[in-house]
């Protein structure tokens, strides 16, 4: 009977040890999630915009992230710029190309008259950021 008791005691001690080990692991996992939320909340915000910014894609020769199978960093930077509200984001990507095509059509006379396409309608960027 003494051997059964010691086996049960060893089993109970082992289970208790597992509970003690698992509890801090669960607490660490929870604190990591909390830390991640705090880090997201640490993006500085501004009461009013400091100016306008254009985030450009770098030249093809410097695309170091494609070898790592990562998306362009400019997309993440644009998200941070929007969340901070410190700058008005001026997009010069595909939208700019489409606007330039429309202007080319208007200047060649292909579009109807009285359209709202003309000079002076594109907002200027006070700052330009090129991730590298």
pLDDT in tens, 95-111: 788 888 888 888 788 87
- pLDDT of 88 reads 92
- pLDDT of 112 reads 74
Do 106 and 114 touch, CB atoms closer than 8 A? no
- Residues 81 and 45: their CA atoms lie apart, in Å, by 9
pTM confidence score: 0.55
Residue 5 has which token pair?
């008791």
Do 81 and 49 touch, CB atoms closer than 8 A? no
- Residues 55 and 130: their CA atoms lie apart, in Å, by 6
- Residues 10 and 57: their CA atoms lie apart, in Å, by 63
């Amino acid at each position: 009977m003494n051997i059964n008791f010691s086996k049960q005691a060893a089993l109970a001690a082992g289970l208790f040890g597992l509970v003690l080990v698992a509890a801090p692991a669960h607490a660490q996992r929870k604190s990591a999630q909390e830390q991640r939320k705090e880090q997201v909340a640490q993006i500085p915000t501004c009461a009013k915009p400091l100016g306008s910014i254009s985030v450009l894609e770098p030249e093809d020769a410097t695309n170091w992230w494609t070898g790592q199978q990562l998306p362009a960093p400019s997309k993440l930077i644009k998200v941070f710029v929007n969340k901070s509200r410190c700058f008005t984001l001026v997009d010069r990507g595909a939208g700019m190309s489409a606007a330039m095509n429309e202007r080319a059509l208007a200047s060649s006379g292909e579009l109807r008259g009285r359209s709202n396409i003309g000079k002076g309608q594109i907002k200027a960027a006070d700052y330009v950021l090129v991730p590298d």
